[in-house]
């Protein structure tokens, strides 16, 4: 998507000088393990940090891990019932057949007190208006700060569909849309929709440092940012004034310093207490160790191969079909997921209420693939495949997956060059449209199908840089829009199933797998909730042996 922000190169220095840290670590130091054992836990994850503000993130560490710790949203999703539940909005009303939404806010919710901001008031309607006006109103003073890109909401065209965000009184906010949108509440329940502090923004404006709003975060969440070392770790400190009650641990260290087997080794030796997204190949080790526990849950995610449909020869449907027939998906299931995923037949996971049960998994037929390439008049091909290096909830081993696809395509005369890339570098290069294929995926904390279709394959998602296929079909977009206009579930299901049939016919992407969410942790860690929609708050996590220890 966007290129690597210049500020990110110096974010570590900013964090060290401006964030609360009694004794900042040197560039090579790691947080003291003994200290963490007494007062917190270590969460190991492989990821790249581009911003602390999930409004401006596309996925990854900020959304999957940090958002639930630093911020709250108006609404949440119950991880067990998959229903919308209150968070900062105590209750809400749907008016005008889904074109107007009125939120009644919770009172006495304090913002975090940090080294860079001391709030003088509690959260109110001004903060909610500021948070969403910044995203939806292109004329808002903070809209263009740090680039002005809000990938998730931009892909949904909310800048055009939101008519107004108004404060009715100190604890009531009304959002009016240009037209009914049955998915709107679900989008506000995602981690992409945090409530920020308008007072903090005003302070930054007076100081002429508006860009710090996304670098030194202030939210209402259970933990606040204490220290950040680029590529090494993030230390979160307990928000003692958290409105739901004081979190049980005084700190959390998010370890970014090791990938693959390195993270597993840290878990086995006790350097990590929690291992996010363990590789499926490691499950037997994790299950056999009595010191460890493993949690598996269905996930709202999809791994897929995106074709650059704007670039020959991939603009030819017959070539895309041939490539799809050449990929041995069953081998991917065995070699990458080890029984922890389902072969995907649709962009939607099977857990979605709009999943098309008649969707067919693409068959494996390399002989037919070679024949189709001959029919298309396409000789030996050289293609590039862009692959993220970090493991994700939807694909624990992207590079290995790419190597298997490379071997499959070699059998039909296609030479694939794998291009391993990281973070925003990948996004920037993909948006240059020079790539041929990209191995990617999507995970959402929304149970609404719209959170898959529009961000990934709508025409607007090309501009917002989340549509890696660069595919645009006005008829497909019209179906998605029609589905939003109805509050009747049956009508929405019908539209979404028609949309899935278009994708099967046009094949802008090849769905590969819908993965279980995996999380491994030490035996003494309790209260850890694994949600199908993304990471839950760490506020209730505690260490059993040290529960009575008072830091």
Express each pLDDT in 487-518 by its tens digit: 888 999 999 999 999 999 999 999 999 988 88
Task: State the pTM of this model.
Answer: 0.79
Inter-residue contact 426 to 388 (CB < 8 Å)? yes
Inter-residue contact 204 to 216 (CB < 8 Å)? no
pLDDT value at position 365? 97
Quote the CA–CA distance of 455 and 2 in Å, as a whole number: 15
Residue 423's pLDDT band, with cuts at 50, 70 and 90, is low
Residue 371 domain-assigned (yes or no): yes
pLDDT, tens only, 285-337? 998 999 999 988 888 899 999 999 999 999 999 999 999 999 999 999 999 99
pLDDT value at position 32? 58
Quote the CA–CA distance of 142 and 175 in Å, as a whole number: 19
Residue 176 domain-assigned (yes or no): no
Percent of the chain topping pLDDT 70 = 89
Residue 56's pLDDT band, with cuts at 50, 70 and 90, is very high
Mean pLDDT of 93-108: 96
pLDDT value at position 126? 98
pLDDT value at position 426? 52
Q: How many domains in the chain?
A: 1
pLDDT value at position 34? 59
pLDDT value at position 35? 72
Residue 52's pLDDT band, with cuts at 50, 70 and 90, is very high
Residue 160 domain-assigned (yes or no): no
Q: Give Rg (Cα) of the chain.
A: 23
Query: Residue 362 sits in which domain range?
Result: 301-516
Mean pLDDT of 273-279: 88
Quick check: 431 pLDDT over 60?
A: no
Q: Which helix (H) or strand (E) holds 174?
A: strand 172-177
Residue 504 domain-assigned (yes or no): yes
pLDDT, tens only, 348-366? 998 888 999 999 899 999 9
Percent of the chain topping pLDDT 90 = 66
Quote the CA–CA distance of 284 and 280 in Å, as a whole number: 9
Quote the CA–CA distance of 359 and 524 in Å, as a whole number: 43
Residue 440's pLDDT band, with cuts at 50, 70 and 90, is very high
pLDDT value at position 282? 86
For the beta carbon of residue 505, count every other beta carbon within 10 angstroms: 8
Mean pLDDT of 159-164: 91
Residue 339's pLDDT band, with cuts at 50, 70 and 90, is confident
Specify the pairing of strand 40-44 against strand 251-255: parallel
pLDDT value at position 17? 36
Quick check: 534 pLDDT over 70?
A: no
Residue 19 domain-assigned (yes or no): no
DSSP string over 273-289: SEEES--GGGHHHHHH-
pLDDT, tens only, 178-200? 999 999 999 999 999 999 999 99
Give me 240's structure tokens.
Answer: 């003692």
Residue 72 domain-assigned (yes or no): no
Quick check: 2 pLDDT over 60?
A: no
Give me 342's structure tokens.
Answer: 């389902």
Q: How far is CA 408 from CA 311, 330, 414, 519, in A?
A: 21, 12, 9, 31
Residue 249's pLDDT band, with cuts at 50, 70 and 90, is very high
The residue among 510, 467, 518, 523 whose CA lies nearest residue 364 is 510
Quick check: 449 pLDDT over 60?
A: yes
Quote the CA–CA distance of 100 and 399 in Å, as a whole number: 45
Q: What is the mean pLDDT of the chain?
A: 88
Residue 427 domain-assigned (yes or no): yes
Chain centroid, CA 414 distance in Å: 32
Higher local confidence (pLDDT), 6 or 367:
367
Residue 190 domain-assigned (yes or no): no
pLDDT, tens only, 375-404? 999 988 999 999 988 878 788 889 999 999
pLDDT, tens only, 115-156? 999 999 999 999 999 999 999 999 999 999 999 999 889 888
The domain that holds 343 is classified in CATH as 3.10.105.10
């Amino acid at each position: 998507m966007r290129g690597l922000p210049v500020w990110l190169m110096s974010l570590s220095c900013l964090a060290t000088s401006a964030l609360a840290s009694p004794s900042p670590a040197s560039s090579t130091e790691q947080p003291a393990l003994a200290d963490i054992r007494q007062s917190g836990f270590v969460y190991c994850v492989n990821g790249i940090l581009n911003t602390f503000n999930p409004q401006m993130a596309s996925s990854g560490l900020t959304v999957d891990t940090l958002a639930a710790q630093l911020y709250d949203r108006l609404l949440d999703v119950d991880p067990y019932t998959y229903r919308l539940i209150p968070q900062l909005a105590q209750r809400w009303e749907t008016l005008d057949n889904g074109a107007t939404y009125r939120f009644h806010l919770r009172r006495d919710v304090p913002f975090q007190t940090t080294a860079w901001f001391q709030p003088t008031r509690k959260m109110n309607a001004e903060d909610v208006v500021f948070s969403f006006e910044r995203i939806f109103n292109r004329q808002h003073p903070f809209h263009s700060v740090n680039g002005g890109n809000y990938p998730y909401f931009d892909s949904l065209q909310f800048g055009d569909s939101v008519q107004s965000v108004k404060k009715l009184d100190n604890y009531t906010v009304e959002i009016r849309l240009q037209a009914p949108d049955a998915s709107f509440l679900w989008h506000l329940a995602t981690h992409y929709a945090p409530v920020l502090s308008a007072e903090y923004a005003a302070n930054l404006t007076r100081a002429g440092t508006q860009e710090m709003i996304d670098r030194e975060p202030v939210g209402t969440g259970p933990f606040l940012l204490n220290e950040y070392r680029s590529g090494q770790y993030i230390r979160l400190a307990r928000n003692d004034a958290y409105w739901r009650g004081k979190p049980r641990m005084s700190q959390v260290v998010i370890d970014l310093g090791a990938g693959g087997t390195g993270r597993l080794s840290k878990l086995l030796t006790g350097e990590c207490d929690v291992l996010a997204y363990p590789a499926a190949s490691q499950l037997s080790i994790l299950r056999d160790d009595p010191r460890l526990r493993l949690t598996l849950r269905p996930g709202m995610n999809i791994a897929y191969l995106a074709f650059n449909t704007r670039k020959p020869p991939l603009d030819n449907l017959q070539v895309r079909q041939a490539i799809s027939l050449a990929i041995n998906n069953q081998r991917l299931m065995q070699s990458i997921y080890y029984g922890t995923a389902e072969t995907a037949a649709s962009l939607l996971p099977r857990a979605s209420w709009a999943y098309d049960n008649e969707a067919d998994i693409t068959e494996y037929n390399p002989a037919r693939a070679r024949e189709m390439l001959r029919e298309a008049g396409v000789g030996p091909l050289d293609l590039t495949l862009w692959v993220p290096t970090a493991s994700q909830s939807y694909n624990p081993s992207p590079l290995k997956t790419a190597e298997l696809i490379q071997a499959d395509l070699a059998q039909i005369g296609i030479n694939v060059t794998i291009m391993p890339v990281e973070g925003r570098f990948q996004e920037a290069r993909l948006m240059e449209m020079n790539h041929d294929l990209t191995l990617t995926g999507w995970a959402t904390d929304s149970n609404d199908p719209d959170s898959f279709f529009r961000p990934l394959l709508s025409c607007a998602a090309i501009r917002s840089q989340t549509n890696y296929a660069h595919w645009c079909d006005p008829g497909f977009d019209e179906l998605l829009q029609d589905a939003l206009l109805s509050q009747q579930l049956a009508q929405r299901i019908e539209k979404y199933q028609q949309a899935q049939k278009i994708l099967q016919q046009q094949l802008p992407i090849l769905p590969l797998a819908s993965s279980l969410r995996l999380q491994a942790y030490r035996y003494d860690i309790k209260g850890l909730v694994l949600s199908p929609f993304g990471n839950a708050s760490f506020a209730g996590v505690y260490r059993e042996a040290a529960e009575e220890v008072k830091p």
